[in-house]
Amino acid sequence: MTNSWTDIRNTDLVVIMGGNAAEAHPCGFKWVTEAKANRGAKLIVVDPRYTRSASVSDLYAPIRQGTDIAFLLGLINYCIENDKVQRDYVKAFTNAGYVVKQGFTYQDGLFSGYDEAKRDYDKSSWDYEIGADGFAVVDDTLANPRCVWNLLKNHVAVYTPEMVERICGTPKDKFLKVAEMVAECSSPTKAMTSMYALGWTQHSKGSQNIRAMAMLQLILGNIGVRGGGMNALRGHSNIQGLTDVGLMSNLLPGYLTLPNEKEPDLNAYMSTRGFKPLRPNQMSYWQNYRKFFVSFQKAMYGSAATPENDFAYDYLPKLDVPGYDVLRAFDMMHQGKINLYLCQGFNALQAFPNKQKITASLSKLKLLVVMDPLATETARFWENHGAHNDVDPSAIQTEVIELPSTCFAEDDGSLTNSGRWLQWHWAGGTPPGEAKRDTWIMAQIHLRLKELYRGEGGAFPDPILNLHWPYADPGDPTAEEIAQEINGRALAKVTDTADPTKVLAEAGKLLPGFAALRDDGSTSCGCWIYSGCFNEKGNNMARRDTDDPDETGAYLKWAFSWPANRRILYNRASADLNGKAWDPDRKVIEWDGAKWSGYDVPDIAPTAKPGEVGPFIMNPEGVSRLFTRGMMRDGPFPAHYEPFESPIVNPVAPNVRGNPAARVFEGDFRQFAEPASAEFPYAATSYRLTEHFHFWTKHVVVNAVMQPEFFVEISEQLAAEKGIAKDGWVRVWSKRGSVTAKAMVTKRIKPLTCDGKTVHIVGIPLHWGFTGAAKKGFGPNMLTPYVGDANIETPEYKAFLVNIEPVSGPVA
């Protein structure tokens, strides 16, 4: 989230699209109902299903899953056509005026530079014209036909309300009503908030879905303001934290990236990071990259990381591919290229697409280790549960070790919510049986491994032997010890760069924040964006002061919000070019002539003058990007692509199948249904229900009572067509698998008309499996295709094709 849950109370219009906040995040949704009740805010829900969010909306518009970009670009087109744009904001705070290089084109659904064989682009043409001064060329009048604004205008022109109806199936009158309400928020005194989640990410163009809305929010001037923003609702309690701390194949903590094998040393590595400003005076905060990186290496390897060895740069593994994401990992496993796999509380068998492939892959492992508080399906993938897990245990040679871990109620520590708040929690109960904390388990594995390497030697033992392990009880580090390590420490005295007499931190002391980080090895810091969370003032994540001056919803003294306790990202953009709030009633920070101050920690250097320094300090431009240069694999603008399995052929680019830059593994393509397939005529989507949380709560008897059994939702029309009775049983199958379910026949799903064709939607909730208290059931991953988003490889769970028929009852 750019903003926070409590900030949603400040909005005028909530657009829930690509999410279902009322069902998946009920307590956060409270702030929507508060905004409605207290400010007269309106709620729009755009979704293939009439959801529980829709049940309290002011306007519901149906949409075919996987067509959000067409809808959003249609909105952008509407706003531009009708001059519903916050022009001053767009000119000053976006790259609308930046002139794009000759050679950049978009034609027939493809951007310039496409290589069909590689399914990838040469992105060199996707960039700005660079002037003689080394800075990007900008036309403030927006007259240049090659400036971003004019390119965007041309790019979205095709998405007329008629085209939106044709692609999305959204009736034109509903779309126009949405457009009118959204366009009103181009006023500087109106804010719209976007609440989205996996309904946007789980597509082969998930990142572009989000970009499209972000672009709309930028042209409406809604980023950085109270009640505005791009608010990813996010899934699990610490999905934000795990990502922040970098537990992904290609990441280091704090969104630093792992080197690839073309970067043999630290200098080569730094040459593509630490961006220089593209415009004069800009902060381009990544210029500090080296400080973050070196401090991280000091946290990892302590005294073994020295200037002489490039701060142990070689200890880091170097990537040969963009990343070993889970789809790649399981594809490798499927090929027998992975021997050991450790799952720390992640139910892979239920969570990844094409369950049959996942089972086959796990069956090829030598060892699977599962650490979990609950008996997961993954740990029991080899157990026969009839149709629900039809395997032959004797044929599976994988050794499985299941380790009982504690749950939230039994450990201390912090979780980062979607509003970027790091909140500390305290254990309240004794763990059951022999269950152990994850910190204990990981320490034991490390110490045992270290012991083995110390005793036996082996392949490059240095990083293991030298891993910094400064805990009082090495076998059982405490949460506080690790939190301090994440925050960072001064290894030598750290002084202010501008004023060397001013000491920021004495040697051995905790750092006040990331501004004190140094690139000479005098500081250590596990995760730079978290620095400040546990400093000499104490554990700031444990703060519980609910003071909130003027009830802005900022709660600056509650817990700690990264970065630097900032509650609204880009909050400098809440004020105009002179530093005055666009909307005086919705002030966040203002320029008082000498510095920035207000209700939040300014997201800019406190003394950066308003006219000079742009609000988007992480970007070398200092402004936000409507055109994203070469930073996305599938294009600098979003464009409509059909899902890989689609009931119609792409109306705007008939020759392009799916997202042309999305990675598809050998073999998986064969398992996709053809576009407009007669064999699989129905458009399916998967989703969560409010009664359950993923695959956990089916272990909770009370939640099992609330929603006991797997079902699929279909329209009355499809039920009539297929002879499916309410409360009857159905079989649903895709090219990859088949499930049996109860039928929920509802008015809340209606057939759509897309490109002249009736499209029926089949809704498949995801909470069932073969362990726990609820009835045994199937997961949608029996059916879903094995393909991910072009940029981040999130699987396409939200749009695929199936067929359906009535059956007499469940197969045993």
Partner 1 sequence: MNIELSRRAFLQTAGAGLAGTTLGALGFGDIEAAHAAAIRSFKLANTTEARNTCPYCSVACGVILYSKGDLRKGEQAEITHIEGDTDHPTNRGTLCPKGSALLGFVKAPTRLQQPMIRKPGADKFEPTTWEDAIDRIARLMKDDRDQNFVATNNDGVTVNRWITTGFLAASATTNETAFETYKVVRSTGMLVFDNQARV
Partner 2 sequence: MFPPIANPSVTDVAPRFSEKDLVRRSASTVPAPAERLTEVAKLIDVSKCIGCKACQTACIEWNDTHPEVGVNAGVYENPPDLTPDMFTLMRFSEWENPETNNLEWLIRKDGCMHCEDPGCLKACPAPGAIVQYSNGIVDFVHENCIGCGYCIKGCPFNIPRISRVDHTAYKCTLCSDRVAVGQGPACAKACPTQAIVFGTKEEMKQHAEGRITDLKARGYANAGLYDPPGVGGTHVMYVLHHADQPELYSGLPKEPRISPLVEAWKGITKYAGLTVLGVAAGVGLLHHLVMGPNRVSDTDEENAERLVRSDRHDSA
Binding stretches for partner 2 (CB under 8 A) = 22-23, 26-27, 29-30, 33-34, 36-38, 40, 50, 52-56, 58, 60, 690-691, 701-711, 726-728, 742-748, 773-775
Cβ 47 vs Cβ 196: under 8 Å:
no
Least spacing, CB of residue 765 vs partner 1, in Å: 14
d(CA 405, CA 656): 47
| 783 counts as binding partner 1 under rule CB under 8 A | no
Which run of H or E residues covers position 369? strand 367-372
Which run of H or E residues covers position 456? helix 438-456
| 601 counts as binding partner 1 under rule CB under 8 A | no
φ, ψ of residue 269 to 5 degrees: the values are -60, -45
| 411 counts as binding partner 1 under rule CB under 8 A | yes
Residue 642 CB coordination number (10 Å): 29
Cβ 53 vs Cβ 45: under 8 Å:
yes
Cα-based distances in Å from 15 to 86, 222, 401, 440: 18, 12, 45, 43
d(CA 59, CA 50): 11
**What SS3 state is found at 435?**
coil
Which residue, 34 or 120, has its beta carbon nearer to partner 2? 34
Which residue, 31 or 71, has its beta carbon nearer to partner 2? 31
| 693 counts as binding partner 1 under rule CB under 8 A | yes
Amino acid (1-letter code) at residue 555: Y
Binding partner of 664, given partner 2, partner 1, none, CB within 5-8 angstroms per partner class: none
Amino acid (1-letter code) at residue 246: G
The single residue among 37, 130, 143, 367 that binds partner 1, judged by CB under 8 A, is: 367
- Site track 556-595 with partner 1 (rule: CB under 8 A), x = hit: --x-------------------------------------
Amino acid (1-letter code) at residue 180: E
β-pairing verdict for 120-121 and 192-196: unpaired
Which residue, 375 or 503, has its beta carbon nearer to partner 1? 375
- Site track 637-666 with partner 1 (rule: CB under 8 A), x = hit: ------------------------------
Least spacing, CB of residue 195 vs partner 1, in Å: 12
Which residue, 669 or 693, has its beta carbon nearer to partner 2? 693
- Site track 301-330 with partner 1 (rule: CB under 8 A), x = hit: -------------xxxxxxx---xxx--x-
Which residue, 26 or 103, has its beta carbon nearer to partner 1? 26
Span near partner 1 by CB under 8 A; candidates 65-73, 684-692, 737-745, 799-807: 684-692
Least spacing, CB of residue 690 vs partner 2, in Å: 4
| 270 counts as binding partner 1 under rule CB under 8 A | no
Cα-based distances in Å from 89 to 183, 189, 223, 537, 582: 15, 12, 10, 38, 9
> Which burial class, exposed, middle or buried, applies to 738 when counting CB atoms under 10 A from its CB (0-12, 13-18, 19+)?
middle
| 399 counts as binding partner 1 under rule CB under 8 A | yes
Which residue, 38 or 281, has its beta carbon nearer to partner 2? 38
- Site track 56-95 with partner 1 (rule: CB under 8 A), x = hit: ----------------------------------------
Strand order, beta sheet including 13-17: 59-62, 42-47, 13-17, 192-196, 230-232
Cβ 197 vs Cβ 180: under 8 Å:
no
Which residue, 73 or 441, has its beta carbon nearer to partner 1? 441
Cβ 368 vs Cβ 396: under 8 Å:
no
Binding partner of 483, given partner 1, partner 2, none, CB within 5-8 angstroms per partner class: partner 1
Q: Which two tokens stand for residue 46?
A: 């755009």
By rule CB under 8 A, what count of residues binds partner 1? 166
Span near partner 1 by CB under 8 A; candidates 40-48, 216-224, 590-598, 697-705: 697-705
Least spacing, CB of residue 405 vs partner 1, in Å: 7
Query: Of the candidates 423, 533, 447, 446, which has an alpha carbon nearest to the alpha carbon of residue 489?
Result: 533
Q: Which two tokens stand for residue 321?
A: 């591919």
Which residue, 235 or 708, has its beta carbon nearer to partner 2? 708
| 790 counts as binding partner 1 under rule CB under 8 A | no
Which residue, 504 or 774, has its beta carbon nearer to partner 2? 774
- Site track 510-549 with partner 1 (rule: CB under 8 A), x = hit: ----------------xx--x-------------x-x-x-
Span near partner 1 by CB under 8 A; candidates 133-141, 277-285, 448-456, 508-516: 448-456
Binding partner of 401, given partner 2, partner 1, none, CB within 5-8 angstroms per partner class: partner 1
d(CA 609, CA 611): 6
The single residue among 555, 570, 599, 641 that binds partner 1, judged by CB under 8 A, is: 555
Which residue, 278 or 730, has its beta carbon nearer to partner 2? 730
Least spacing, CB of residue 553 vs partner 1, in Å: 8
Contacts of residue 738, Cβ cutoff 8 Å, sequence gap at least 6: 731, 732, 782, 783
CA 446 to chain centre: 30
CA 199 to chain centre: 11
| 30 counts as binding partner 1 under rule CB under 8 A | yes
Cβ 530 vs Cβ 422: under 8 Å:
yes
Bridge partners of residue 590, in order along the sequence: 597
d(CA 751, CA 62): 10
Whether the bond between 431 and the residue before it is cis, its omega within 30 degrees of 0, is no
Cβ 712 vs Cβ 738: under 8 Å:
no
Q: Which two tokens stand for residue 784?
A: 């879903």
Least spacing, CB of residue 354 vs partner 2, in Å: 25
| 256 counts as binding partner 1 under rule CB under 8 A | no
| 699 counts as binding partner 1 under rule CB under 8 A | yes
Binding partner of 337, given partner 1, partner 2, none, CB within 5-8 angstroms per partner class: partner 1
Which residue, 665 or 693, has its beta carbon nearer to partner 2? 693
Residues 216-255 within binding reach of partner 1 (CB under 8 A): 233-249, 253
Query: Of the candidates 779, 805, 677, which has an alpha carbon nearest to the alpha carbon of residue 353?
Result: 779
Cβ 585 vs Cβ 243: under 8 Å:
no
Q: Which two tokens stand for residue 154?
A: 């041309």
Binding partner of 445, given partner 1, partner 2, none, CB within 5-8 angstroms per partner class: partner 1
φ, ψ of residue 550 to 5 degrees: the values are 55, 20
d(CA 49, CA 417): 27
Q: What is the DSSP letter of 458?
A: -
Residues 739-778 within binding reach of partner 1 (CB under 8 A): 771-773
Which residue, 370 or 730, has its beta carbon nearer to partner 2? 730
β-pairing verdict for 256-257 and 752-754: unpaired
d(CA 790, CA 795): 10
Least spacing, CB of residue 774 vs partner 1, in Å: 11
> Which burial class, exposed, middle or buried, applies to 706 when counting CB atoms under 10 A from its CB (0-12, 13-18, 19+)?
middle
Which residue, 287 or 690, has its beta carbon nearer to partner 2? 690
Binding partner of 727, given partner 2, partner 1, none, CB within 5-8 angstroms per partner class: partner 2
Residue 537 CB coordination number (10 Å): 10
Which residue, 639 or 689, has its beta carbon nearer to partner 1? 689
- Site track 454-493 with partner 1 (rule: CB under 8 A), x = hit: --x-xxx--xx--xx--------x-x--xx-xx-------
The single residue among 77, 186, 439, 571 that binds partner 1, judged by CB under 8 A, is: 439
The single residue among 697, 715, 740, 791 that binds partner 1, judged by CB under 8 A, is: 697
Binding partner of 52, given partner 2, partner 1, none, CB within 5-8 angstroms per partner class: partner 2
Cβ 437 vs Cβ 429: under 8 Å:
no
Least spacing, CB of residue 63 vs partner 1, in Å: 22
